[in-house]
Amino acid sequence: MELSHVTFGYPGRMIFRDLSLALKPGEPVAMMGPSGCGKTTLLRLMAGLERPLSGTVCGIPPEGVSMVFQENRLVPSLTVLENLALVSPRSRREELLALLAPLGLAAEGDSLPSALSGGMARRVAIARAAALGSSLLLLDEPFTGLDPENRQRAAAFLRERFAGARVAAVVHHREEADLLGARIVGAGTFCGRSGEP
Amino acid sequence: MDIPRILRRAWIPGLWLLLWQGAALLVGEELLLPAPLPVLGRMLALLGEGDFWLTCGHSLGRILLGFLLGVLLGGLLAVLSARFPLVGAFFSPAMAAVKATPVASFVILVLVWLRGENLSVFISFLMVLPLVWQNVSQGIAGADRQLLEMAQVYRLSPRSILRAVYLPAVLPHLLSALRVGFGFAWKAGIAGEVLAIAPGSIGRRLHDAKTGLEMVDLFAWTGFIILLSVLLERGMMAFLARRFPGKERD
């Protein structure tokens, strides 16, 4: 995944100017910085949800991107397992259950998202990212709503499942970056500038 | 069902029948307002006539055919309108015009082109078409943007996007359009038959009753129109509720 000389903004508001940034396999990057400085926008550019005004974004994997959005974005009419099967239609039920168990969700396979607590739904969103198992993982505040024990669990799960992947995360605290084993990229690197992490 | 419950359910319709009977006595002229008993008697007598079932089947078949065609084409045009905004812009004024035009105008216009007996197909089709188009369009437009982005990022197949994002968004709108549309189609279809004097139809029987001043017949046929409408609508809704539980829009 590589952004080179990317300029992006909305009418009247420039967010990035000439930003260059590369993600390397097995070297997770965590982006920290004040809100509104474009961290989520940067993830959206990497996911192909936004197009740069100039410059290029390369390396979006053809199989899709394992992305944990700021919101869980689970399909409310489908059960937890069906939500996972949606992104990985060829996986067997047992394979998908094996993604839920390490996150403490083994009993929730047939539950609808509306029956889950906020923390459980967050973990399902994380399991869904693993169900696709893309070589690019994008995490937007992945630990929101998780208690310390579940943060540890989720982080260990992600580190194991995406060991050799390109990973970028938006986090609020240094500890969250540490949990992911990610190198912190501060606001100075990407807010309106260019950087080379 | 126990007796008290039957009584609880029956007392309001019973009260209306009494009021009807009282009014008929007060008017004292069957030509203006027949009493309930002769009307019920006529309805029972009609049930025994072979023609009766043919007539009901004739009207029902044509109106249902128009209804189904309207649902299919309305749904298809809504999908095309969502996919190609120009198509939506093109059909929008036509749909608004169809919705605002009185049934009688259509009947008179269409009678020039179509035979009277097939007119109710076209009329019920026209009643349902804009309703389904509008409701399905609203459903598609209301599809969850965040889920659509998720689908894009995860490269979901078109089939999966349809099942997971669009169908849940459209179904409540479609079901309410079907329920309202059926009532529209049925009443407008019969009105069309009356105006077209469509041979072998319920509308024709209403027309004959009117011209012959057979008020008991007129009331009896109207009673069957109401009964059929209620039964069919309930049947359709029960089927849809079983097929898609808890999906109708409030």
CATH number of B225's domain: 1.10.3720.10
Quick check: A33 pLDDT over 90?
no
Beta strands in A23-155 (DSSP E): 29-31, 54-58, 66-68, 136-140
- C-alpha distance from A178 to closest chain B C-alpha (Å): 26
**Pair B70, B181: CB distance under 8 Å:** yes
Residue A97: which domain range? 25-37+61-182
Nearest residue to A15 via CA among A56, A50, A62: A50
Quick check: B4 pLDDT over 80?
no
pLDDT at B223: 93
Amino acid identity for residue A123 in this structure: R
In a domain, A127, yes or no: yes
pLDDT at B247: 66
Tokens 């926008």 locate to A41
In a domain, B220, yes or no: yes
- Looking at the fold, whether B21 and B138 belong to one and the same domain comes out as no
Interface of B with A (CB under 8 A): 146-147, 149-150, 152-157, 160, 164-165, 168
Q: Is A67 on the interface with B (CB under 8 A)?
A: yes
Quick check: A81 pLDDT over 70?
yes
How do residues A108-123 score in pLDDT, each as one tens digit? 999 999 999 999 999 9
End-to-end CA distance of chain A: 12
In a domain, B233, yes or no: yes
CA atoms within 13 A of residue A2's CA, in its CB half-sphere: 5
- C-alpha distance from B241 to closest chain A C-alpha (Å): 16
Burial class (CB in 10 A: 0-12, 13-18, 19+), B68: middle
CA torsion, points B23, B24, B25, B28, in degrees to nearest 10? 120
- Looking at the fold, whether B2 and B61 belong to one and the same domain comes out as no
pLDDT at B1: 55
| Inter-chain touch B164–A49, beta carbons under 8 Å | no
**Pair A133, A65: CB distance under 8 Å:** no
Q: Is A51 on the interface with B (CB under 8 A)?
A: no
Chain A residues with beta carbon closer than 8 angstroms to that of B155: 62-64
How do residues B79-137 score in pLDDT, each as one tens digit? 999 999 999 999 999 999 999 998 888 888 888 887 777 889 999 999 999 999 999 99
Quick check: A192 pLDDT over 60?
no
pLDDT band, very low/low/confident/very high, at A101 (cuts 50, 70, 90): very high
- Looking at the fold, whether B92 and B210 belong to one and the same domain comes out as yes
pLDDT at A196: 39
| B147, B155, B165: residue with CB nearest A64 | B155
pLDDT band, very low/low/confident/very high, at A195 (cuts 50, 70, 90): very low
Nearest residue to A168 via CA among A65, A36, A62, A56: A65
pLDDT at A138: 97
Chain A residues with beta carbon closer than 8 angstroms to that of B153: 47-49, 64-65, 67
Say if strands A2-10 and A13-22 run parallel, antiparallel, or are unpaired: antiparallel
- The residues facing A139 across adjacent strands are A68, A169
- Looking at the fold, whether B2 and B42 belong to one and the same domain comes out as no
- Looking at the fold, whether B98 and B222 belong to one and the same domain comes out as yes
Tokens 């965040």 locate to B146
pLDDT at A194: 44
How many domains, in total, are found in chain A?
1
Q: Is A69 on the interface with B (CB under 8 A)?
A: yes
In a domain, A149, yes or no: yes
| Inter-chain touch B152–A49, beta carbons under 8 Å | yes
Rounded to whole angstroms, the Cα distance separating A124 from A167 reads 19
In a domain, A52, yes or no: no
How many domains, in total, are found in chain B?
2
- Looking at the fold, whether B47 and B123 belong to one and the same domain comes out as yes
- As a whole number, mean pLDDT of residues B45-61 equals 92
In a domain, B186, yes or no: yes
Beta strands in chain A (DSSP E): 2-10, 13-22, 29-31, 54-58, 66-68, 136-140, 166-170, 183-185
- Looking at the fold, whether B99 and B133 belong to one and the same domain comes out as yes
Which site among A41, A69, A73 would you substitute to test the B interface, given the most B Cβ atoms closer than 10 Å to its Cβ? Answer: A73
Chain A residues with beta carbon closer than 8 angstroms to that of B164: 75, 77-78, 86
pLDDT at B80: 96
| Inter-chain touch B154–A87, beta carbons under 8 Å | yes
Q: What is the mean pLDDT of chain B?
A: 91
- Looking at the fold, whether B144 and B218 belong to one and the same domain comes out as yes
- Looking at the fold, whether B101 and B222 belong to one and the same domain comes out as yes
Q: Name residues 129-168 of chain A within 8 A of B (Cβ).
A: 132
Residue B18: which domain range? 1-31
pLDDT at A189: 66
| B149, B152, B164: residue with CB nearest A78 | B164
Q: Is the ipTM of this complex over 0.85?
A: yes
Neighbouring residues of B41: CB distance < 8 A, sequence distance ≥ 6: none
Structure tokens at B61: 């078949």
Q: Which bin fits A53, alpha (ψ -120 to 50), beta or left (φ > 0)?
A: alpha
- Looking at the fold, whether B166 and B75 belong to one and the same domain comes out as yes
| Inter-chain touch B160–A89, beta carbons under 8 Å | yes
State the CATH number of the domain containing residue A74: 3.40.50.300
